[in-house]
Amino acid sequence: MKWRRLNGERIDISIKSAVEKTIIRETEAGHRLKVCIGTDSQVRSGVIEYACVIVFLREKKGGFMFIHNYRQEKEISLKERMINEVAKSVEIAYSLCDLLDKYNVELEVHADINTDPSFKSNTALKEAMGYILGMGFVFKAKPDAFASSHCADKMV
């Protein structure tokens, strides 16, 4: 998986190593961190483009993120796409959770799913919430899911 920073700089080490180095650097600088993971997607010309982000929030000091983009050339329903987004976020969260526990860093998984039933994405809310909570992660949906609905949204 290829990850990059917002400025386009490639991350050439494993994402787990990059996150650990980041946690150590930020902690040594006196920052208290929270990590939020989210994924968003858009369909363009029959291709689904995804962006997954790991957002590092420094308590009262802003934040930054790591980004991973990928594509899928298979036509799927909106509900399946929403579940794919959540699955990717959970996969990343799961791969990092032992590391975040080691350094006592809070973790949230954000889903780009609307809590308002009048929106189409709401059809996947129960499944997504069950999946994320079932894995033991803190779950956030719109309007509180900024990692997916704002950060990842801008990277798709």
Burial class (CB in 10 A: 0-12, 13-18, 19+), 101: exposed
The confidence score (pLDDT) of residue 67 equals: 98
Q: Can you give the pTM of this predicted structure?
A: 0.94
> What does the pLDDT look like over 56-69, one tens digit per residue?
999 999 999 999 99
CA distance 156 to 106: 26
In the chain, which residues have pLDDT < 70? none
- With the CA atoms of 16, 100, 147 and 32 taken in that order, what torsion angle do they form, in degrees rounded to the nearest 10? -120
Residue 123: per-residue pLDDT: 82
Which amino acid appears at position 18 of this protein?
Answer: A
pLDDT of residue 80: 93
Give tens-digit pLDDT for 95-120.
Answer: 999 999 999 999 999 999 888 888 88
Structure tokens at 125: 């809310």
pLDDT of residue 114: 85
Q: Where are the domains of the chain?
A: 3-155
Structural class in CATH, domain 3-155:
alpha beta
Cα–Cα distance, 134 to 81 (Å, whole number): 19
The backbone torsions φ and ψ at residue 45, rounded to the nearest 5 degrees and listed phi first, read 50, 45
